[in-house]
Structures are given as structure tokens and as C-alpha cells.
């Protein structure tokens, strides 16, 4: 059946995510090394990243974050305002989480400095929360595609955080439908959220295509929903056993898939 609608993921598909997090990490680690010249910067960064994942996965909102699709890295800088009990738990806990990441990373190198940990947490948050870069060529591609297809944006995450990204880069006008998992209380790969988007687009699964970078969230969700999945694999990861329609390195290669 002819494709009439395209559903896009946001993070690491249309806007930089891993790269922005890496830039923030690099800046924070560099600052820490000006305070203690004997710090190993690579070890500090690796310990901070590992500690963030460990704390996030065992934190008070771990189940909610997994369901909605909020990552440990987003927890280091995101805004979790909102009425949902899960968001309220995150809002109360993340200041402790952010400081503890850097406190433990410094302690791993025998630096007991809570004040520096607090400064590093604040610097990461400040740096990452202003870094929203769209991949080169993505906007012009969206502009062309919207002339021929109905477009949707389906993103996992906290509402204030994700809408902030969308509005910071003025992406709203490209899409007929925008759905943020935190607004619904369900996230990818749950077929229910894909069904919700399809209803908003007024198309069948066979008429839609899902474009995203996450096998676990985007491609598995598309497969479960009967939607063809186009995997953006810029990090050259293993495909596992997930069924996909096409694999691309960059989202701007999508028109070549649509032409076939």
C-alpha cells in the first residue's frame, strides 16, 4: 500500500541527542579538571555516565521513566514539571540525583568535594538545556515531505522537556500531529501510542512509516503496530532480530527510501 503518512521520532533522529550530551559532558569534565589538575578526565566522564545509569535504574521513578521513555542522561538536565505523580517524584528527586552523580565520580578519584559536585551538576544542566541542534538538512527535508505526506512527531519523554525541544527549534509547523508520551501516560513501544497517532493522522498502519533511531522503542513499536520501520542507525549498532523496512545512517536519506 502507498505510504501517505510518516511518523518521526525526535531525539537522535531529527535533533542531536548523543552529541549534545557529549558536548555537555566534555565541558563539565574540563571544568572539573581546572579545579583538580590530577583528575583523569576520561575516568571522570565514564564514572559519571555509569553512575547516572545505575542511580536512574534504581531510583524512585525508575518504572515510570522506563514506561514513558525518560533516560538517565535527560534526568541530568531536564525539566520534570507536571501533575503526574511520576513527574512529581522526578521533580523532587533529580536535584539529589544530579549532585550524587558527580559526587561519586569525584570520590572515585579520591576527591571529597560536594560543593564542586553541585557546581558540575549545575553546569551540565545549564549547558545541555540550551543545546538543541537539528541535523543538517532535516528541516529542508521536512519542508519537502510535508507537501506530499501527512507528518507526525511521536516522541517519548516528559512533556515540558520534549515540548521545550520542539518549540526551541520551531518544529511544530512541520507536523500535522505531535504526540509526547508523557502527555498520554504511555510510551513507545506500546502499540497503544502508535494507534493513537494513526487515529490522529486518519491512516491505517499499512499507509504509515515510522522513522526513528531506537530499535527498542521505535522499530519494535512499529513492528508490533504493523507499521513499516525505517531505522536511523548513525551509531552503527547491531540490528538484532527486529524487523525493519529500511536502515539509514542519516534521516536526510529518507527520500531515497520513499522513492523506491
Residues of the chain with CATH 3.40.50.1000: 5-16+134-258
**3-state secondary structure (DSSP) of residue 180:** strand
| pLDDT by 10s per residue, the chain, length 260 | 799 999 999 999 999 999 999 999 999 999 999 999 999 999 999 999 999 999 999 999 999 999 999 999 999 999 999 999 999 999 999 999 999 999 999 999 999 999 999 999 999 999 999 999 999 999 999 999 999 999 999 999 999 999 999 999 999 999 999 999 999 999 999 999 999 999 999 999 999 999 999 999 999 999 999 999 999 998 888 888 899 999 999 999 999 999 77
**3-state secondary structure (DSSP) of residue 227:** coil
Class of 5-16+134-258 in CATH: alpha beta
Cβ contacts of residue 191 below 8 Å, gap of 6+? 221, 224, 225
Closest CA to 216 of 229, 199, 204: 229
What are 184's three cell numbers? Answer: 498520554
- What letter would DSSP give residue 216? I
pLDDT of 236 reads 82
pLDDT of 183 reads 96
**3-state secondary structure (DSSP) of residue 228:** strand
Amino acid at each position: 500500500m502507498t505510504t501517505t503518512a510518516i511518523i518521526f521520532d525526535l531525539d537522535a533522529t531529527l535533533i542531536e541527542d548523543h552529541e549534545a550530551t557529549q558536548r555537555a559532558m566534555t565541558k563539565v569534565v574540563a571544568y572539573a579538571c581546572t579545579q583538580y589538575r590530577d583528575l583523569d578526565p576520561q575516568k571522570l566522564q565514564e564514572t559519571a555516565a555509569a553512575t547516572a545509569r545505575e542511580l536512574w535504574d534504581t531510583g524512585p521513578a525508575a518504572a515510570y521513566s522506563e514506561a514513558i521513555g525518560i533516560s538517565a542522561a535527560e534526568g541530568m538536565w531536564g525539566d520534570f514539571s507536571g501533575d503526574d505523580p511520576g513527574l512529581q517524584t522526578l521533580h523532587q528527586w533529580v536535584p539529589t540525583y544530579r549532585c550524587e552523580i558527580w559526587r561519586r565520580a569525584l570520590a572515585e578519584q579520591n576527591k571529597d568535594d560536594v560543593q564542586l559536585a553541585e557546581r558540575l551538576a549545575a553546569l551540565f544542566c545549564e549547558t545541555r538545556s540550551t543545546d538543541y541542534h537539528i541535523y543538517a538538512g532535516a528541516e529542508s527535508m521536512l519542508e519537502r515531505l510535508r507537501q506530499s505526506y501527512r507528518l507526525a512527531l511521536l516522541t517519548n519523554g516528559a512533556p515540558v522537556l520534549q515540548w521545550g525541544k520542539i518549540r526551541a527549534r520551531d518544529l511544530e509547523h512541520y507536523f500535522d500531529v505531535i504526540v509526547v508520551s508523557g502527555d498520554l501516560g504511555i510510551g513507545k513501544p506500546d502499540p497503544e501510542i502508535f494507534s493513537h497517532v494513526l487515529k490522529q493522522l486518519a491512516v491505517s498502519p499499512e499507509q504509515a512509516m515510522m522513522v526513528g533511531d531506537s530499535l527498542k522503542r521505535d522499530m519494535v513499536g512499529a513492528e508490533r503496530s504493523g507499521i513499516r520501520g525505517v531505522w536511523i542507525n548513525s551509531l552503527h549498532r547491531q540490528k538484532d532480530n527486529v524487523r525493519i523496512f529500511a536502515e539509514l545512517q542519516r534521516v536526510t536519506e529518507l527520500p531515497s527510501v520513499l522513492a523506491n
